[in-house]
Homo-oligomer: A and B are copies of this chain.
Amino acid sequence: MSVVLAVDVGGTGLKGAVVDVHGRTLARRDRPTALDGRGPAENLLALLADLSALAGPQAPVAVGVGTPGIVEEATGTVVYASNLGWRDFGLRALLEDSTGLPVGVGHDARAAGRAEQLASGTHGSFVFVPIGTGIAAALVVEGTAVSGVSGAAGEFGHVVVHPGGELCPCGQRGCVEAYAAGGAVLRRYRARGGEAASTAEVVGLVGADPRADEVWADAVRALALGLQGLTMLLDPAEIVIGGGVSGAGAVLLDPLEAELRALLAWRSPPPLRTARWGSEAGRIGAALLGFERVGTTPEFLL
């Protein structure tokens, strides 16, 4: 049974796993993106060493890494990733040199989206929006994953929905991400004097704390506005919300569906659901990149 070492790189944490060709996670190990003064690349290498040890006698056939930002999949170069401080960074070359294994590097959301679609077995047009520290999207249009002319497609989080609005970490104003990302929800709740250790805690206060209600309503509104434009442009068969924030479940989906419906005067919203792989979609997407690097199509169908 061939296995790969898979890492989903996020702005806050690195999520690692040893994954087999059926999409089963045999071992799991996380690590902060920044730790002991070391940057994301150093921590990524350390995590891969840990994962290799966890794989034990099952020698991994490849490494798969999903990262946010603008990624050139053919060369494994991260052109730009604002949350990681990477620019024109030859990640694949570095990891292949260090590990001695074939390494597939791809866009985290696109890979996770393809994994979601492989798992559900659907075809055609499909949108996967993972909401974690940041927000991206994987767009599958008429059966093809969209990467764009410079690998920068799917930046749903940086669609401007409130012109001149809140400053986004990316430097633009009024992005979806500036209101609806997990980090934004927590930051905006704290800015209103709320005390919470995590985004999940803020979500848990919705309905009980007016400050939580306010920032959550803003998050839902920003998402609905972004999805309105996406629906107009692409008319997708399904929109799947993933990432940590999708754990909010109906607290997210119900008002989001209602807001999107209210913005649309002459068509229904596309079906909305939370991700089947939940917050594990990133790890599975990274594993898919590893298998694809060595020409293997994994059997993820549930």
Q: How far is the CA of A86 from the CA of B168 in the complex (A)?
A: 42
- Say whether A171 faces chain B, with CB atoms less than 8 Å apart: yes
Cross-chain contact B233 with A156 (CB below 8 angstroms): yes
A299 within 8 A of B: no
Given contacts A141-B142, A265-B172, whether A149 and B229 have CB atoms under 8 Å apart is no
**Residue on B with the closest CB to A137?**
B233
Q: Are B170 and A235 in contact (CB under 8 A)?
A: no
A: number of interface residues (CB 8 Å): 49
A155, A228, A234 — most chain B CB neighbours (10 Å): A234
Q: Is the CB of B263 within 8 A of A172?
A: yes
State whether the Cβ of A124 lies closer than 8 Å to any Cβ in chain B.
Answer: yes
Beta-carbon contact of A233 and B270 below 8 Å: no
Binds B, one of A157-165, A179-187, A194-202, A289-297: A157-165
Tell me which residues from 146 to 160 in chain A have a Cβ below 8 Å from any Cβ of chain B: 146-156, 158-160
Q: When the two chains form their complex, are residues A139 and B171 in contact, meaning their CB atoms are under 8 A apart?
A: no
Contact B235 A152 (CB under 8 A): yes
Which chain B residues border A225 with CB–CB below 8 Å?
A: 160, 163
Closest to A82 in B: B266
Contact between A153 and B266, CB atoms less than 8 A apart: no
> A266 contacts B142, CB within 8 Å?
no
Chain B residues near A25: list those with CB within 8 A: none
Instruction: Name the prevailing secondary structure of the A interface residues.
Output: loop
Select which of B125, B161, B263, B266 is within 8 A of A149 by beta carbon. Answer: B125
Flag if B265 contacts A171 (CB, 8 Å): yes
Q: How far is the CB of A261 from chain B (nearest CB, A)?
A: 12
Closest B residue to A228 by beta carbon equals B160
Per-residue B-contact encoding for A213-242, CB less than 8 Å = 1, 0 else = 000000001000110111011111100000
CA distance A159 to B80 in the complex (A): 28
Contact A159–B266 (Cβ < 8 Å): no
Asked if B266 and A170 sit within 8 Å, CB to CB, the answer is: yes
Docked-complex contact A171 and B228, CB < 8 angstroms: no
Interchain CA distance A229-B160 in the complex, whole Å:
6
Instruction: Write 27 A-B pairs (CB below 8 A) sorted by A numbering.
Output: A80-B266, A124-B149, A125-B149, A141-B142, A142-B147, A146-B234, A146-B235, A148-B236, A149-B237, A150-B267, A151-B235, A152-B235, A152-B267, A155-B232, A155-B233, A155-B235, A159-B229, A159-B232, A159-B233, A160-B225, A160-B229, A160-B263, A161-B163, A163-B225, A171-B265, A229-B230, A229-B233
